[in-house]
Structure 1
Amino acid sequence: MIWLELAIVLLSIFIGARIGGVAIGFAGGIGVLALACLGVQPGHIPWDVILIIMAVISAIAAMQVAGGMDYLVNRAERLLRRHPKHITILAPLVTYFMTLLAGTGHTAFSTLPVIAQVAKEQGVRPSRPLSIAVIASQIAITASPVSAAMVYFSSLLEPKGVDYITLVFICFCSTLTAVFLTSLVTQFLGCELKDDPVYQERLARGEVAQRQQQNAPEQPFALRSLLIFCGAIGLIMFYATALSPVVGLITEPVLSRDHAIIAIMLSAALLITWRCKIDADKISSAATFKSGMCACICVMGVAWLGATFVEANIEHIQSSASLLLNQYPWMLAIALFFAAMLLYSQAATTKALMPAALALGVSPVAAIASFAAVSALFVLPTYPTLLAAVEMDDTGSTRIGKAVFNHPFMIPGLLTTGLAVGFGFILGHLVL
């Protein structure tokens, strides 16, 4: 029966992935219905993850309406244009830190056009900075102090003696180092732009546009909105540290960490709306708000489906996998990698597999090191930021091959993930 149930889960995810977008979440619902027809009790819906995403996205959307996101993008563009020859190294650092700050990889949408244009102006193959920039925006989720995946994962590790700040520190150092080293390698991937026959054909047909730098005027309270949002992140990190048993500043909290994140982010959204004098009705129309709500649907459907399958078969999974994972802890990274490839969400993958892995006796070090593997959203070339990078590169260098998997994001993605996991094991053993 377990194989039939697994087949239903995989088929549902495959159908959702084929349709694309928010349909991956819809597919989770039909998968749960199919399992229920077999007598499987529905699992728990990850409301904690969903509510955190909603609260954080609300604050980000308010900041975007106030001009805070444009302020960040303008500063990023100035940095890239000041050092254009190093764009393959600087671009991923820009998208990494923007995701680290916001807790969502969708912030990369605003910088991808700049990256593509600056690379093209310098004769740099755009697929190089674009590919590693997209990968950096995905893996930074596993280091962001406000991402739903990080917050949930830290709640699993605290009972095992790993505090929030230590977890963020290990993930930040391992993923950032991996991104930087991969960017050095990415500079040599693919032929030079001038030697690319696809680019030459498009250039001859007049399909390669040359856009001049455009500086849109900043809104009057753009910086204020960004400072409010950053202040909210700082407050969350302080509160989470104070709750840690190691620090012990707050021993009997009125608010749990999850509740504190939700309350602080909603308060930040209100403060931005009030102090930056924006129209509250425009917040729900912001691009980040729409993409964030789509992410909530995806997490709800897919994580619910995964939880339904895992909870129904937890004893069988434990007996089959415990010995293997105890002998080869790095196998957890491979399991998370393939799960994320299908679930299309770092938070959903963490929610679906990490509790079971820790229940099987996987050490905290192995779990932390493997955490970066939940960012394997690049394998199937259908993720929104990946597709956006392809569309924004009119030189044709960032193209998806006929074999589907032979796209420019594969090597940077595999290398970044592998390095992050390796550094995670090293740092984990040194710190814990």
Structure 2
Amino acid sequence: MVWIQLAVVLAFIFLGARLGSIGIGFAGGVGVLVLSLGLGMTPGGIPIDVILIIMAVIGAVAAMQVAGGLDYLVQQAERVLRSKPKQITILAPIVTYVMTLLAGTGHTAYSTLPVIAEVAKENGVRPSRPLSISVIASQIAITASPVSAAVVVFSGMLEPFGIGYLDLLMVVIPTTFAACILTAFVCNFLGLDLEKDPVYQDRLAKGLIKTRESRTYDIKPGARLSVLIFALTIVAVVIYATLISDKVGIIEHPVLPRNEAIMVFMLTAATLITLCTKIDASSILNAQTFRSGMSACVCVLGVAWLGNTFVAGHIDQIKLVAGELLEGYPWLLAVALFFASMLLYSQAATTRALMPAALALVDPVTAIASFAAVGALFVLPTYPTLLAAVEMDETGSTRIGKLVFNHSFFVPGMIAIVLSVALGFLVAPMVL
């Protein structure tokens, strides 16, 4: 029966992957239906905390986008990229990493991918090099963002072990950032140089490669103010979460717990941005980041619920089988998280589904060191930012091969994940 139930989980995950976008969440819900009413399993816990955090953060990000804040950030990013265009493979992932770190969502990368592709092409750099690592950086940065649902939920799981929110950030931010930069150096040597690429030469001969003029930005009056409000809110979140942590203990018995505080702070930021920049609140509903974020909520609801149902139903068997393996080879936790995130398609969903069981089997240091592996959303070439990068590279250097895994993002993603985990095992014991 266990294998039948696992087959159901995998079948509906693959169905969701075929449907794409919000369909992943829909298919996950059907999987819960089959497991519960069809096979008699008790439905697992709904990841309500994850969904609510995503909703609150995305609301503030979308308000900032409508106020022109994202355009302002992209304008600054383009200035950085064009200041040293030959170094774009190194600079581009820094830009997408920082934007994701601040916003708590990798969907901010959409706005910078066209700039990265154009600057690379203009300067004879193979666009697949900066584009691939930029997408990977935007996915891995979720595991280091102070306001991402994955980090917030994971930090809550670590509190009973005496590890605070700030402790987690002190490990994951430097290790994932360093891993992305090191991978970027490697990406400089991946693939043929642009002038030697036969696909590019063929497109060039057919006149399919066009020279575009530099983008012009119509920065709204309240754009800078919206960015300032959002940035100060992130600082407030980190300070408050630190003050109420058991380790610091300056605020004992807080009236407002950490998860709820992040939601309240982000909703407050959205309110202040709306009021101070005088934007139409109804227009926030049409913002691209809002639509992507709400789609992510449905995906987390369906897929994480499906994963939780299976894991909770077999937690004793999982502990029995995995306990001995992890005791001897703790790094196998990273492997498990890697494959789970590849299927669950969400860092937060993977964290919510597997980390409670993981923390019952391994020490917190191992769990933190392995945490970056939940960012393996690049393995199947169907993730939105990955597809967007392919679409925006008119040179054809960023592509998806005929086989499932031979795409431009697989090697950079694998290198970045391995380095993040390796650095995590090195740094975590020194910090904690």
Q: Quote the residue 2:404 is aligned against.
A: 404
Secondary structure of the corresponding residue to residue 304 of structure 1: helix
Q: Quote the residue 2:383 is aligned against.
A: 383
* C-alpha distance after superposition, 1:139-158 (max 9, x if no partner): 00000000000000000011
Q: Quote the residue 2:301 is aligned against.
A: 300
Unaligned runs of 5+ in 2: none
* C-alpha distance after superposition, 1:214-270 (max 9, x if no partner): 222210010000000011111110110001112111111001101100111001100
Secondary structure of the corresponding residue to residue 416 of structure 1: helix
Measured in 1, the distance between the counterparts of 2:47 and 2:429 equals: 31
* C-alpha distance after superposition, 1:335-367 (max 9, x if no partner): 00000000110000001100011122x111110
For this pair of structures, how many residues does the alignment match?
431
Secondary structure of the corresponding residue to residue 45 of structure 1: coil
Q: Quote the residue 1:151 is aligned against.
A: 152
Q: Output the aligned Cα RMSD.
A: 0.6
Give the letter for the 1:400 counterpart.
I
Q: Does 1:255 align with 2:256?
A: yes
* C-alpha distance after superposition, 1:393-426 (max 9, x if no partner): 0000001111121111111100000000000000
Give the letter for the 1:392 counterpart.
M
Measured in 1, the distance between the counterparts of 2:80 and 2:39 equals: 57
Give the letter for the 1:365 counterpart.
V
How far residue 206 of structure 1 moved from its aligned partner, in angstroms, is 1.0
Give the letter for the 2:2 counterpart.
I
Measured in 2, the distance between the counterparts of 1:57 and 1:230 equals: 14
How far residue 176 of structure 1 moved from its aligned partner, in angstroms, is 0.5
Q: Quote the residue 2:218 is aligned against.
A: 217
Secondary structure of the corresponding residue to residue 183 of structure 1: helix
* C-alpha distance after superposition, 1:165-186 (max 9, x if no partner): 0100100010011011110110
What does residue range 48-67 of structure 1 map to in structure 2 within 5 Å? 48-67=49-68
Measured in 2, the distance between the counterparts of 1:267 and 1:173 equals: 29
Q: Quote the residue 2:107 is aligned against.
A: 106
Contact between 2:163 and 2:247, CA under 8 Å: does it hold in 1? no
Give the letter for the 1:40 counterpart.
M
* C-alpha distance after superposition, 1:270-293 (max 9, x if no partner): 000000100111001000000000
* C-alpha distance after superposition, 1:360-381 (max 9, x if no partner): 2x11111001100000011111
Q: Quote the residue 1:244 is aligned against.
A: 245
Measured in 2, the distance between the counterparts of 1:128 and 1:236 equals: 35
Give the letter for the 2:233 counterpart.
A
Q: Quote the residue 2:365 is aligned against.
A: 365
Q: Quote the residue 2:3 is aligned against.
A: 3
Measured in 1, the distance between the counterparts of 2:53 and 2:210 equals: 41
How far residue 33 of structure 1 moved from its aligned partner, in angstroms, is 0.7
* C-alpha distance after superposition, 1:63-110 (max 9, x if no partner): 000000000000000110111000000000000000000000000000
Please, which moves more after superposition, 385-394 or 322-331? Answer: 322-331
Give the letter for the 1:303 counterpart.
A
Give the letter for the 1:146 counterpart.
V
Taking structure 1 as the reference length, the TM-score comes to 0.99
Q: Quote the residue 1:415 is aligned against.
A: 415
Q: Quote the residue 1:429 is aligned against.
A: 429
Secondary structure of the corresponding residue to residue 214 of structure 2: coil
How far residue 316 of structure 1 moved from its aligned partner, in angstroms, is 1.1
Unaligned runs of 5+ in 1: none
Give 4+ residue runs of structure 1 displaced > 6 Å after superposition: none
Q: Quote the residue 1:186 is aligned against.
A: 187
Q: Does 1:338 align with 2:364?
A: no
Measured in 1, the distance between the counterparts of 2:51 and 2:26 equals: 15
Give the letter for the 2:251 counterpart.
I
Secondary structure of the corresponding residue to residue 75 of structure 2: helix
Q: Percent identity?
A: 65
Give the letter for the 2:131 counterpart.
L
